[in-house]
Structure 1
């Protein structure tokens, strides 16, 4: 049957729902009789949807579709501010469940024809009278089109209990509107040949129902005054990673901060020495080094600008904190032996101002400092104004330099922090 349509009929039905979602931007969407979850899989990419629910009586299908609706690795690597929760339930559309009330959109795609007429009455009562969604999309076969389907005798599927013509579907839909306070518009997908469109209509007829304002009195008559029940079995639920979650936000922010701090350090050191991941040449006197540090105060506003001095530089050894300068400077006692272990201090103000994503994620410089504080991957100065980034250099003859570097660094931390030392080695 489907090959006579291009694209196929089920794709056209799903596209109709997707176009509706794109236009009306519902936040809560439930698909009744979701089957293998093909429609849900497409809807999960629409960022306006915050809660996506599938309901089907076939538990095996529900369990099978969990893998289709699970977050992808890219969802964890590049989370957005969009929030999405997916829930899959096993249950019958003839039963009430309070968790599905007052959704923005409920869809029933090629479902009602599988119900007995008695169950169809329950379906209308549950969906329109109890769930009372803002909008409902119902599609069902148009029996008038069957004559055009090659080789078809009887119903289109062996499980169909009925197949309505356009008049019968219209009569049912208008009665639903009268009983439960909705209005409906009729359309469909799968067009007949041009000369038969008027007389036959669409292959799948669709009713789009909209709840009338002020019709809540109808819901009172049909069950909202009854204690809510939970007849469905929750089979699967997942929250997609979102920057609205504080843990996810902090993880992404720290990753960005470490990346850009390393980038800025390498650029500045390349300008100073012509090499990255290296140390600066020896300065003749400590006083001269300090004067050079204090004179380099340019703060860029864009990461693409030429960086005169995006970072403050310090050696390691005996540390002196310069009041008001926000700098740390140390003379490495190992210099005479050829082993230079130095660190660069990247001011948080530089990271916040010159890297737009860091500014967007943190919101303010103070909030950036708060989010980075006490994070095991981040090493801040005592006043929390700068990030400490290591400059790697090791004497080729020194095999265990890494361990000594960590011990030196802990000595640096002890000299300007009152709180107990932290085992940075375990967090590198």
Structure 2
């Protein structure tokens, strides 16, 4: 009976590598003989990896698939502090290249059987003697399993130069360990049918090599006399977006600040309009009113306290009493004289944004950093002392009605937004 594998055998080999990376938190990985980059395309989603490199002698095959390693759109829309760089090279595993030294893991998945035995010796010297990764995963066909494939004569692939038994693979692996200072564990993927596992072993046998002394012993090997050899041709390289990049951090932070400043402004104005409407309705039913100037001042004070407290409680889940005590954090209006007209802005203090918006505080770290970054962002308008973000109140220029005048709290605003007839009519209503 022909053996079947579920999942398919190539997926089991890849999953073996992925599980190793997750278990060991591997940061620098090189896949030797990466071919069409299928393993690399899976590893790129594991963000513990910071450097992912692929090498293959067939550059044309790599070029056909390499763009599949580009970041997907979500990485740009929601970058994290994780960082990843991907590089692809054309080159032979029998040649030395200094850019491949010092990796945490080198994978050689179904590769060595495509080399001549003489090249296997050079491969051993390059990988274990020159590259000296902390760990190496080597998988290769187990020839003892071949009789279970009906009709198979010779090797499993026409390009294979050999296929080792378990004993032959073990002999080579132990020789490598002795010469280059590694130890090895033997395992595999692709289970044999029931009752035959012990007799034939795994379909793909795997050796997991660990350098004696780990990372420390690797560092000792890199002296100033190391050969700076550049034998490979770089085909592709890309850096994934990361918040560790100051330009990306600035872009994301500015976007968050603008979004939340507009959101807080809108909530604050909404609460003020609601309060103003309720107060006007009460007065129009004949209740006693104050003088115009006193009434405006009292309304402004009440509106500000009401809107700020409500905005803080609804938007950020903070207690009303706590927020109303922060007099320096209250939102307010400020007028800016333009060339031909007066513009009104809602002033959103940076302290409000930092305390009430967790992502803004997480990205900036502290108020000083937040102020420093925003001062260098031309798309953000700050107050003169840099303590608040100014968000334009578009309704002030567009409407110019009596409610806007009442809400503003600035007597001088009436010179620009109301005619004398409007002011007289408003007084009559009072």
The corresponding residue for 1:182 is 182
Distance across 2 between alignment mates of 1:230 and 1:289 = 75
Task: Please show how residues 140-289 of structure 1 align to structure 2 within 5 Å.
Answer: 140-213=140-213, 225-274=225-274, 284-285=292-293
Asked whether the equivalents of residues 336 and 345 of structure 2 are also in contact (C-alpha less than 8 Å), the reply is no
Query: 1:4, CA displacement in angstroms?
Result: 1.3
CA contact 2:55–2:90 (8 Å) conserved in 1: yes
User: Contact 1:129–1:222 at 8 Å: present in 2 too?
Assistant: no
Q: Are positions 1:316 and 2:335 aligned together?
A: yes
- Answer yes or no: is 1:125 the counterpart of 2:125: yes
Query: 1:176-235 CA distances to partner (integer Å, 9 max, x unpaired)?
Result: 000100000000000001200001000000000000018988999999845220100011
Rate the CA distance shift 1:224–1:385 in 2: closer, same or farther, 3 A. Answer: closer
CA contact (8 A) 1:293 1:312 kept: no
1:356 corresponds to = 358
**1:106 matched to which residue of 2?**
106
Correspondence for 1:407: none
Q: 2: CA distance between counterparts of 1:177 and 1:127?
A: 12
TM-score by length of 2: 0.80
How many aligned residue pairs are there? 377
CA contact (8 A) 1:181 1:215 kept: no
3-state SS of paired residue (1:62): helix
User: Is 2:406 aligned against 1:387?
Assistant: no
Contact 1:293 1:313 in 2 (8 A): no
Question: What is residue 22 of structure 1 aligned with on the other side?
Answer: 22
Q: How does 1:2-13 map to 2 (within 5 A)?
A: 4-13=4-13
The Cα shift of 1:7 comes to 0.5
Does the CA-based 8 Å contact 1:36-1:61 persist in structure 2?
A: yes
1:304 equivalent to 2:317? Answer: yes
Mapped to 2, the partners of 1:87 and 1:60 lie a distance apart of 15
Q: TM-score, normalised on structure 1?
A: 0.80
Unaligned 5+ segments in structure 1 are 320-331, 335-340, 399-411, 413-428
- Any conservation in 1 of the 2:27–2:48 contact (CA below 8 Å)? yes
Counterparts in 2 of 1:54-133, with a 5 A limit?
54-133=54-133
Gaps of 5+ in 2: 281-290, 401-412, 414-430
Find the structure with the greater CA-based Rg: 2
How far apart are the structure 1 equivalents of 2:336 and 2:154? 90
| Distance in 2 separating the partners of 1:345 and 1:220 | 58
Cα distance in 2 for partners of 1:149, 1:236 equals 39
- Matched residue of 1:81: which SS? coil
Structure 1, 213-222 or 373-382: larger mean CA deviation: 213-222
Q: Give the whole-Å Cα distance in 2 for the aligned partners of 1:80 and 1:133.
A: 28
Among 345, 352, 357, the alignment partner of 2:347 is 345
TM-superposed CA distance for 1:303, in Å, is: 1.1
